[in-house]
A and B are shown apart, each in its own frame.
Chain A
């Protein structure tokens, strides 16, 4: 935090918040890892479940670690967050589009 530390008023969060966030992210990761490892379901539904888990993981990171609801000054973080979400979804969806080679089923 270096020299920014003196200007932010909300430097102190209770450790509970971080511990809950940490545990939640571990649990989410563990679920997706086990699903992928054990081939618990067929590929199609599993892709959806994994994507939903990944979305939840993003929310955990944003709320528990990055304190997305707090901040002072202009709302730069909303703009960057929006760009980030656009990039993330564009990259994921286009990757699926590219990597399914669906023209081969024509």
Chain B
């Protein structure tokens, strides 16, 4: 091997770090070649570009978000299994300290930013315009930009594993550990830029969906007639819009510290590392409500549909969602009680944190009362919802324990905390997102996911969850700290750690069952011929599955809450089936390749900043500016679908 290749291989490709990297290289190359081969062999490149990469259709963007988040769940899950394998037995050296640090950092970052966020955006995109009777979101072009910024942000983050080195200062990336003195490599830059790029996309999505819901509802759909999932998106979008800028500022200042040499977070020149922690959690705590509130929305839809009752306490559900979104901005300091800001500060934030339990408790009781005397069908979405209730209640209770500031000095950064937030994030967000995926899957693809494999996945994942995380509460009490990569044999932690690792693998098997279920159902899943496979209550179930690209041939007029259910009860479903002469030309946005190219330019710029190759960064930013200018002078970005085309599509679906 020539010397330059050797140097390049060691410095950028980390070939000196052993088999984990080599295996990943080989797998990435094989997957890459596989994708290129399949696309070329089946002549699908044009199809990929026309139908997916340039699409502004919210339903397709939703599907792309869903695929991306399932892939990221796999990556984050593999990270988790590597961590648990390392911790299975004392004095283990399966991973070294360096790799362990990198893997817990990527696990946390990917699961929150690149798994949970795209998963909620997937459900936003798939459900919201259909639920409010709209033909697309308010800004379809911005929607495509949001997706591609997320996509390239995630790509930038993941590429660090095999090119340049992963970040290793935890998903919170606190300075001074993440500062320029202690963390020289490009890893932290990857973290900062990937989050920055995908963060722009997230703010875009928040603005987009708030505008969509406030401005584009069908006639008659007043705010208090909106489905609860749509309400949860209102609350979530508000929090996104106001929380994400704090993250943007924190990341930008840390990046300046790292590559320009400013001193915002270094003690030596009057900076203050604590300020990063403060800014990070101004975003970070609202962020956990950003990912949980859409799950609450899903549960409200699922519980009502599968209990065949209207949801109990609709108004209190809406009020508690809005209360949660407001309180979420008054609790962030509970992440650093131990910083020592003073008893008055800690008291305020402890009480505010405990207050969150009240609106959340109201919601839990409302779901239970909705089920009470309902005719419950235990389909997959309902199973996950029922599993959520006890899991989230325990997670919430341990959360109140952590919110008690004096006690938190004991729990802080122990495995008790780890068990708590995994319980609310898995038991709340992951269960909720899976319930939502099962619920709207027929709407997206026109077939149901197989029930038997789904039940296997459910039981493996649920039992695995408790086996994995219950021991961690105990380990926390026994003094085990988070982020330790090895522990001695005489601490009394051995059995519990081994049990926990077994649980993690059970959850891994559960995930594999979900993959198997999807692959099996593509071929053999029950086809949805009516468009209303669950006997649903809200407008999306009035449409055929999959939904035609213009959604509604004629925009419906809404007269009550649970509009579709009401129409079915009163035998007025024909009102939603237009006659041929009613159909007018439909005004739709044109596809555009620019969101993809713009985001790719962001990726190039980000990559340049990571390695401080400023010429490359300038080149990327130049591309961004050119895309923006071209967009500003674009006038012809809309078209009309002629009525005869709509008539043809609707007749082919048997709806005329």
Q: Which residues of B contact A90 (CB under 8 A)?
A: 329-330
- On chain A, the residues within 8 Å of B608 by CB distance are none
Smallest beta-carbon distance B591→chain A, Å: 13
When chains A and B are docked, how far (Å) is the Cα of A90 from the Cα of B286?
Answer: 14
B343 contacts A2, CB within 8 Å? no
- Chain A nearest CB from B638 CB (Å) reads 7
- Given A2-B637, A91-B246, decide whether A99 and B214 contact each other with a Cβ distance below 8 A: no
A42 interface residue (CB < 8 Å to B): no
How many whole Å from A42's CB to the nearest CB in chain B?
A: 13
The listed residue with most B CB atoms (<10 A of its CB), out of A2, A6, A87, A94, is: A2
B278 interface residue per 8 A CB criterion: yes
The answer to whether B330 and A98 have CB atoms under 8 Å apart is no
Which single residue of chain B is at the shortest CB-CB distance from A84? B242
- Whole-angstrom distance from the CB of A59 to the nearest CB of chain B? 17
| A80 pairs with B274, CB closer than 8 A | no
Q: Which of B106-114, B133-141, B530-538 sits within the interface?
A: B133-141
Give every chain A residue within 8 A of B581 (Cβ-Cβ): none
Tell me, yes or no, whether B419 is within 8 Å of chain A by CB. no
* Residues of chain B lying within 8 A (CB to CB) of residue A76: 214
Given the contacts A2-B139, A76-B214, A103 and B343 also touching, CB distance less than 8 Å: yes
B533 CB → nearest A CB, Å: 30
Interface SS of chain A: helix
Q: How far is the CB of B144 from chain A (nearest CB, A)?
A: 11
> Residue of A at shortest CB range from B352?
A94
Most B CB contacts (10 A, CB to CB) among A80, A90, A98 go to A98
Would you give the 0/1 interface string for B135-178, flagging 1 where the beta carbon is closer than 8 Å to chain A? 11011110000000000000000000000000000000000000
Instruction: List residues 610-655 of chain B with CB under 8 A from any CB of chain A.
Output: 637-638
Please give the distance in Å from B67's CB to the nearest CB on chain A. 25
B226 shortest CB reach to chain A, Å: 14
What A residues does B275 contact at CB under 8 A? 99
Q: Which residue of A lies closest to B140 (CB)?
A: A2
A4 with B215, Cβ < 8 A, contacts A97-B345, A101-B341 known: yes
Is residue B238 contacting chain A, with contact meaning CB distance below 8 A?
Answer: yes
Complex Cα spacing A97 to B214, Å: 35
* Partner among A1, A91, A98 whose Cβ is within 8 Å of the Cβ of B345: A98
Cα–Cα distance between A106 and B2 once the two chains are bound (Å): 66
In the complex, the chain B residue whose C-beta lies closest to that of A106 is: B342
For the complex, is B546 an interface residue (Cβ under 8 Å from A)?
Answer: no
Chain B residues within 8 Å of chain A by Cβ, number: 35
* Smallest beta-carbon distance A54→chain B, Å: 12
Contact of B136 among A3, A88, A91, A104 (CB under 8 A): A3
Contacts of B589 in A (CB 8 A): 2-3
Q: How far is the CA of A83 from the CA of B141 in the complex (A)?
A: 27
Q: In the assembled complex, how far is the CB of residue B308 from the closest CB belonging to chain A, in whole angstroms?
A: 34
CA distance A3 to B587 in the complex (A): 8
Shortest CB-to-CB span from A96 to chain B, Å, is 10
Query: Contact between A2 and B242 (Cβ–Cβ < 8 Å)?
Result: no
C-beta contact mask, B304-332 vs A, less than 8 Å → 1, else 0?
00000000000000000000001001100
Q: Is A15 engaged at the interface, CB distance under 8 Å to the other chain?
A: no
List the B side residues contacting A88 at CB < 8 Å.
Answer: 242
Q: How far is the CA of A78 from the CA of B137 in the complex (A)?
A: 22
Q: Please report which residues of chain B, range 242-259, place their CB below 8 angstroms from some CB of chain A when the two chains form the complex.
A: 242, 246
B282 at the binding interface (Cβ < 8 Å): yes
**Which residues from chain A contact B238 at a C-beta distance below 8 Å?**
80, 83
Instruction: Decide if B468 is an interface residue (CB 8 Å cutoff).
Output: no
Is B342 within 8 A of A87, CB to CB?
no
Are B329's CB and A2's CB within 8 A?
A: no
Query: In the assembly, what is the distance between CA of A2 and CA of B140, in Å?
Result: 7
Complex Cα distance, B141 from A88, in Å, reads: 29
Total A-B pairs in contact (CB under 8 Å)? 64
- Bound CA–CA A80/B206 (angstroms): 13
Which residues between 13 and 53 of chain A lie within 8 Å of chain B, taking CB atoms? none
**A102 CB–B CB distance under 8 Å:** yes
Give the residue among B211, B344, B345 with the most A Cβ atoms within 10 A: B345
Contact with A along B355-374 (1 / 0, CB 8 A): 00000000000000000000
The number of residues on chain A lying at the interface, defined by a beta carbon within 8 Å of a beta carbon of chain B, is: 23
Q: How far is the CB of B100 from chain A (nearest CB, A)?
A: 32
Contact A99 B638, CB 8 Å, known A2-B138, A4-B138? no
Instruction: Output the least CB separation between B163 and chain A (Å).
Output: 36
A9 at interface by CB-CB < 8 Å: no
Chain B residue at minimum C-beta to C-beta distance from A98: B341
Distance to closest chain B CB from A8 (angstroms): 10
A87 adjacent to B136 (CB under 8 Å): no
Q: Does A55 touch B at the CB level, under 8 Å? A: no
Contact residues in B for A101 (Cβ distance below 8 Å): 340-342
Contact check, B215 vs A73: say whether CB atoms are below 8 A apart.
yes
A2 to B590, CA, bound (A): 9
Partner of B242, one of A3, A4, A87: A87
B329 and A91 contact, CB distance less than 8 A: yes
* A12 nearest CB across to chain B (Å): 13
Q: B272 an interface residue at 8 Å Cβ cutoff?
A: yes
Q: Which of B91-149 contact A (CB under 8 A)?
A: 135-136, 138-141
Identify A94's interface contact among B242, B330, B637, B638, CB under 8 A.
B330
The distance in angstroms between the C-alpha atoms of A15 and B135, with both chains bound, is 32
Q: Which residues does chain A contribute within 8 Å of B136, judged by CB atoms? A: 3
Query: Digit string of B233-244 for contact with A (CB within 8 Å is 1, else 0)?
Result: 000001001100
Residues of A within 8 A of B342 (CB): 101-104
Q: List 8 A-B contacts (CB under 8 A).
A: A2-B139, A2-B589, A87-B242, A91-B282, A97-B345, A98-B341, A99-B278, A103-B345
Q: In the complex, given contacts A73-B215, A83-B242, what are 15 additional A-B residue pairs having Cβ atoms less than 8 angstroms apart? A: A2-B638, A3-B135, A4-B139, A76-B214, A80-B210, A87-B242, A87-B329, A95-B282, A97-B341, A98-B341, A98-B345, A99-B341, A101-B342, A102-B342, A103-B344
**A residues lining the B interface (CB < 8 Å):** 1-4, 6, 73, 76, 80, 83-84, 87-88, 90-91, 94-95, 97-99, 101-104
Q: Which residues of B contact A (CB under 8 A)?
A: 135-136, 138-141, 210-211, 214-215, 238, 241-242, 246, 272, 274-275, 278-279, 282, 326, 329-330, 333, 340-345, 587-589, 637-638
